[in-house]
């Protein structure tokens, strides 16, 4: 059998499965639709179309964890195809379906695949700089500060998020996932956080700390704090 014939059979089998699924959904049988998709996926594990359809159907069948699992599988498939925007979307969607998922590893995998030039150089015998205990890192052109903060908050990490933009460098301090301080040069606390949230390009990394930071920013919610800060920045531009 030639490669062309194999591809034709593969496409026909996937198409048949998808048509069966649409019929099940038409008659409001999402569980049977999901079972049909999972059966087809056993033979065509690299099919993005099948996995995308499972992602859509699984929540209606009462299985959001299955949707999350398919999202994570799709992240790897999209990275392989260098469709990094789609990989990022599916990674964040996996977190929505299952909040227990830690997406830091996925974010780093996307960063390394998309920007291999950002990977740290291998240390040499003459390197005198101490090795930093960086937990994860990323590019602001791919991963927003909001996404990075969400990872830190969900994992309840204590440490500093260092942000190096084209115009400024900042550090946001966290105690058990909560923002408690910030610094940018001589600027500290809320004023420094305003500088950090105004950055839209550059790179960031998070370094864990053994001891908690002094509290210079009081906030009950990271999200509310950042939204209030962004609103202040927008008002200044008006």
How do residues 29-87 score in pLDDT, each as one tens digit? 999 999 999 999 988 888 999 999 999 999 999 999 999 999 989 988 888 888 888 88
Residue 106 in domain: no
Distance CA 81, CA 74 (A): 10
Q: Are residues 145 and 95 in the same domain?
A: no
Would you state the structure tokens that stand for residue 112, as one six-digit string?
Answer: 């390394």
Q: How confident is the model at residue 120 (pLDDT cuts 50, 70, 90)?
A: very low
Q: Are residues 63 and 136 in the same domain?
A: no
E-only strand ranges, the chain: 134-139, 159-164, 169-175, 178-184, 187-188, 203-208
Mean pLDDT over 115-133 rounds to 50
Residue 117 in domain: no
Residue 119 in this model has a pLDDT that exceeds 90? no
Which of 3-17, 59-73, 92-106, 114-128 is predicted most confidently? 59-73
Q: Are residues 136 and 97 in the same domain?
A: no
Mean pLDDT over 141-163 rounds to 85
Q: How confident is the model at residue 171 (pLDDT cuts 50, 70, 90)?
A: very high
Residue 46 in domain: yes
Number of structural domains (the chain) is: 2
Range of the domain at 36: 3-101
Q: Which of 101, 116, 147 is the last residue of a domain?
A: 101
How do residues 158-167 score in pLDDT, each as one tens digit? 999 998 887 7
Q: Are residues 90 and 10 in the same domain?
A: yes
Distance CA 181, CA 172 (A): 6
How do residues 80-109 score in pLDDT, each as one tens digit? 888 888 888 898 888 888 888 777 667 767
Give the CATH number of the domain where residue 59 resides.
1.25.40.10
Q: Are residues 136 and 230 in the same domain?
A: yes
Residue 12 in domain: yes
Q: Are residues 71 and 16 in the same domain?
A: yes
Would you state the structure tokens that stand for residue 8, as one six-digit string?
Answer: 């034709």
Residue 145 in domain: yes
More confident residue, 234 or 170: 170
Q: Are residues 57 and 150 in the same domain?
A: no
Residue 116 in domain: no
Q: Are residues 145 and 210 in the same domain?
A: yes
């Amino acid at each position: 059998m030639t490669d062309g014939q194999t591809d034709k059979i593969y496409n026909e089998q996937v198409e048949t499965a998808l048509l069966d699924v649409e019929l099940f959904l038409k008659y409001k049988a999402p569980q049977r639709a999901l079972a049909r998709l999972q059966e087809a996926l056993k033979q065509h594990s690299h099919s993005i179309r099948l996995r995308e359809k499972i992602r859509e159907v699984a929540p209606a069948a009462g299985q959001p964890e299955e949707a999350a699992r398919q999202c994570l599988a799709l992240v790897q498939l999209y990275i392989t195809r260098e469709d990094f925007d789609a990989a990022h979307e599916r990674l964040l969607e996996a977190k929505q379906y299952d909040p227990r998922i830690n997406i830091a590893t996925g974010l780093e995998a996307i960063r390394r695949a998309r920007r291999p030039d950002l990977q740290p150089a291998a240390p040499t015998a003459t390197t005198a700089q101490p090795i930093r205990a960086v937990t994860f890192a990323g590019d602001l052109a791919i991963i927003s500060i909001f996404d990075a903060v969400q990872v830190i908050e969900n994992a309840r990490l204590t440490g500093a998020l260092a942000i190096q933009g084209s115009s400024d460098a900042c550090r946001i301090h966290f105690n058990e996932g909560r923002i408690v301080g910030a610094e940018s040069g001589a600027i500290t606390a809320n004023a420094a956080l305003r500088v950090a949230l105004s950055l839209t390009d550059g790179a960031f990394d998070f370094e864990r700390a053994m001891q908690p930071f002094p509290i210079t920013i009081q906030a009950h919610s990271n999200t509310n704090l950042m939204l209030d800060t962004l609103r202040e920045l927008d008002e200044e531009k008006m």
